[in-house]
Amino acid sequence: MREPMRTEPERPRVYRIHPDRNPSPDDPLEMLAYWLDSAFEIPGLRWRFGLDPLIGLIPGLGDLASTFMSLFILAAAVRYGVPKITLLRMGLNLGIDFTVGAIPVVGDLFDASWKANLRNMELLRRSRSMGSSRATLSDYLFVGVIFAILLVILVGAAMLTWALISGVVSLLTTKV
């Protein structure tokens, strides 16, 4: 009698934090997190990364753009009435992602492994499963402060990048 063929179970396209879930095409936030943090896999290594570290390769503007896209998940968390402590954790995930991600090359490698968007989606998912209440004015103010802090960091980084690029250009164009 012939033994049935043993096949390994097919590995799902996974989140690093929540390996048994695939992004639902009906949930744009899940799709956003998936594309930013785990859309691609390096064959043989089983290491996933998304557009976030690739966009981050663009000096200065890349990290600004990916952080701006990540803010949509944080804004949705406010609409869903996520508790302030969870909003703070989500904001810190983004702040860490942006701050370390701004370091050339090392930051992009960090972005590929940190996966702030997937972390934030997991926090949002957990909070929604606990049945949160509606957002209050103080929730909006709290997140407004987080946005303001992140915006100051973003603008500061953009100004620093502009100053560095201007300095390098002026050094290269100055005749001795």
Residue pLDDT, tens place only, 67-105: 889 999 999 988 888 888 888 889 889 988 988 888 888
Question: Is residue 21 in some structural domain?
Answer: no
β partners of residue 42: 47
How far is 79 from 9, CA to CA, in rounded Å?
Answer: 38
Helices 28-37 + 116-129 axis angle, to 10: 150
Q: Is 105 exposed, middle or buried (0-12, 13-18, 19+ CB in 10 A)?
A: exposed
Highest average pLDDT, of 76-85, 119-128, 145-154, comes from: 119-128
What's the pLDDT band for 13 if we cut at 50, 70, 90? very low
- In Å, how far are 71, 74, 94, 169 from 89, measured between CA atoms? 13, 10, 9, 39
Question: Is residue 20 in some structural domain?
Answer: no
Number of compact structural domains in the chain:
1
Range of the domain at 112: 28-173
Q: Is 172 exposed, middle or buried (0-12, 13-18, 19+ CB in 10 A)?
A: exposed
Question: Is residue 8 in some structural domain?
Answer: no
DSSP structural state of residue 82: -
Question: Is residue 13 in some structural domain?
Answer: no
Residue closest to 64 by CA, chosen among 107, 17, 119, 123: 107
Question: Is residue 9 in some structural domain?
Answer: no
Task: State the pTM of this model.
Answer: 0.65
- In Å, how far are 49, 78, 111, 154 from 148, measured between CA atoms? 28, 15, 22, 10
* Mean pLDDT rounded to a whole number for the chain: 80
Question: Is residue 146 in some structural domain?
Answer: yes
Q: Which tokens in the block code for residue 142?
A: 């709290």
